[in-house]
Structure 1
Amino acid sequence: MTDRRRVNGPAGGTQPLVPVPLPTHRTQRSRRPDQLRNIFLHTGTIPAASGSAYYELEAPSQASTSPQPRVKLSCAVHGPKPLTRNASFSPNLQLSAAVKYAPFATRLRRGYIRDSTERDLGIHLENALKGLIIPDRWPKSSIEVSVLVLEGEDNEDLISGQPLGSVAGQIGLMNILAGCITVATAALLDAKIDCLDVMAGGVAAVVAMNGAEEKILDPSPAEHEYMRSACVVGYLPNRDEVTEVWTTGAIMEQGNDGNKFDDVVDSAVSAAKATASILMEVLIESAKTHIKTSSSEANSIPKSKRQSTMNDIEMKT
């Protein structure tokens, strides 16, 4: 007879979980300096939200024996919805954006309460999205954009012992922000929010390769030990406008090749253009699927019911 007042252990033996050790070496970059990692993007992943999207960026090196982190983001858009009664009148749409790490998103377990890093990422994302939407189309309304980081790569600086404020420590956060900008744009368009353009995020950095400094697109902190500077932008390709810029490192110096700040920003814009082309393909495919689904649902309605519906909405004089 079993004792119901205590939790009995399993009948057979079990093996304890062994944590995977952190890699002690960095993988070499096998991609070209202007080559981006593969991106997976899908819309309509959360049925309860007005618009949603899922974004995934592959690991830096698939051939490495040690586990490599990848970026996985999920975005949900709620609204537009009316403002609360105690809110003051606003002729424009009130936008709020938030970024939250899941507790299991990084090697170092995160807390359930938003910290300063997550608040900073939310502010950067909100500033970028304010230059994307058309606010006067939705007066007296608000919209909420929530991005959940399911997996990130911002703790790669712990491998080399570099502080989080260093360039290598900021690269992971920049990749997260660029992904947040892209996935939030896809979710907003999935929610059928009027936007000026299709916005994408891009990251570029200046690293030491073969004894010389070189500009690369889509950097990863697991592939480079020394990074001089980095930049992330939110870019509107059709309007040729930058809505958000975040730079770090020594990029304000003048060099023989011109203004290094402009060079790094132009490289980040090139990365954003490549991401925008992928985003456009995903949105076009999503629109085709939505049109096909709507037409099939309309054809499934009997003809008599469709005729009665048309008569109900017809204006009588």
Structure 2
Amino acid sequence: MADRKRVQGPEKSVVPLLANAETAVVFDPERRKDGRNGDRIRPVFMKTGIGKQANGSAYLEAGKLKVACGVYGPRQTSKSKVSTQGALNCDFKFSPFALGKRKGFMKDAQEREYSLILDQALSPAVRLDLLPKSSIDIFVQVLESDGSAACLAAAITCASLALADAGIEMLDAVAACAAAYVDTTVLLDPTDAEEPHTAGSLVLSYMPSLNEVTHVIQSGETTTANTVRALEVCVDACSQIHGVMMGTLVKGV
């Protein structure tokens, strides 16, 4: 007699498909999966005014990468923090569903580091000397990530666009771009699938109108020639992104 206390399995079964059972594919930087060349960025879409309660807001989408930002202020600081210059309070956060591995609600080390980099990249562009005893709160939320370096660059660009939408006086809008190193090849705007094959990355924050760099961060090991090449292609890409930002601001008026 059949055992009624047990759930009977199917008569026929197949071997389950495992993620690591796929055969290894040789990565070719000259043939990217999305069809881009090594010195091309993903098509970028930007929009301002997505948050009605914020003083300024922006949304950026590049392929699978989706970032939103809200700016609140200027606000009066507390008496214990009175300063002759204003202050930026940057908050970077991944949504729990933004990555392949679910993120917790508490900030981790990567999010705290990215929040600090946001402050360092945007502060040189904002006229904080005109906002004494004031603070500006910037909240960046990553809805979907596709590459850590590209995600940081998109967050800086989106935050700068939101600051401009809020009417904060700036020297210039800050555009950011990321590059990765694969042997002697420089890959612009690397994706999450390409990052495991890279030896390092570089994120450049740039003000094209003034031809000034606000922040550079590099990780990994590479040669001086690769670094110079990465800076050159990132500067060109930032100029392209800056044009999209200006067009978005004009449409939002």
Paired residue type of 1:55: L
Paired residue type of 1:282: T
Residue equivalent to 2:174: 199
Query: Alpha carbons of 1:267 and 1:78: their partners in 2 closer, same or farther (altered >3 Å)?
Result: same
Q: Structure 1 residue runs of 4+, over 4 Å off?
A: 20-28
Aligned pair 1:102/2:95, yes or no?
yes
Paired residue type of 2:149: M
Aligned pair 1:150/2:143, yes or no?
yes
Give unmatched runs, 5+ long, in structure 1. 1-19, 59-69, 154-171, 288-317
Residue equivalent to 1:280: 246
User: Which moves more between the two structures, 122-131 or 219-228?
Assistant: 219-228
CA distance in structure 2 between the partners assigned to 1:261 and 1:223 by the alignment: 18
Residue equivalent to 1:263: 229
Partners of 1:89 and 1:140 within 8 A in 2 = yes
Same amino acid, percent of matched pairs: 33
Aligned pair 1:190/2:165, yes or no?
yes
Paired residue type of 1:280: M
Query: Alpha carbons of 1:265 and 1:138: their partners in 2 closer, same or farther (altered >3 Å)?
Result: same
Residue equivalent to 1:84: 78
Residue equivalent to 1:222: 193
Q: Report which of the two structures shows the higher radius of gyration computed on alpha carbons.
A: 1
Residue equivalent to 2:50: 45
Paired residue type of 1:228: A
CA distance in structure 1 between the partners assigned to 2:88 and 2:185 by the alignment: 38
Query: Alpha carbons of 1:22 and 1:151: their partners in 2 closer, same or farther (altered >3 Å)?
Result: farther
Equivalent pairs counted in the alignment come to 229
Partners of 1:202 and 1:270 within 8 A in 2 = no
Query: Alpha carbons of 1:21 and 1:125: their partners in 2 closer, same or farther (altered >3 Å)?
Result: farther
CA distance in structure 2 between the partners assigned to 1:78 and 1:139 by the alignment: 16
CA distance in structure 2 between the partners assigned to 1:138 and 1:146 by the alignment: 19
Paired residue type of 1:80: P
Paired residue type of 2:97: F
CA distance in structure 2 between the partners assigned to 1:260 and 1:75 by the alignment: 32
* RMSD of aligned alpha carbons: 2.0
Paired residue type of 1:285: K
Partners of 1:91 and 1:136 within 8 A in 2 = yes
1:35 pairs with one of 28, 31, 40: 40
Q: After the TM superposition, which residues 50-199 of structure 1 pair with which residues of structure 2 at under 5 Å, given as runs?
A: 50-58=55-63, 70-85=64-79, 87-153=80-146, 172-199=147-174
Query: Alpha carbons of 1:105 and 1:224: their partners in 2 closer, same or farther (altered >3 Å)?
Result: closer
SS of 1:95's equivalent in the other structure is: strand
CA distance in structure 2 between the partners assigned to 1:229 and 1:113 by the alignment: 28
Q: Normalising by structure 2, report the TM-score.
A: 0.84
Q: Normalising by structure 1, report the TM-score.
A: 0.68
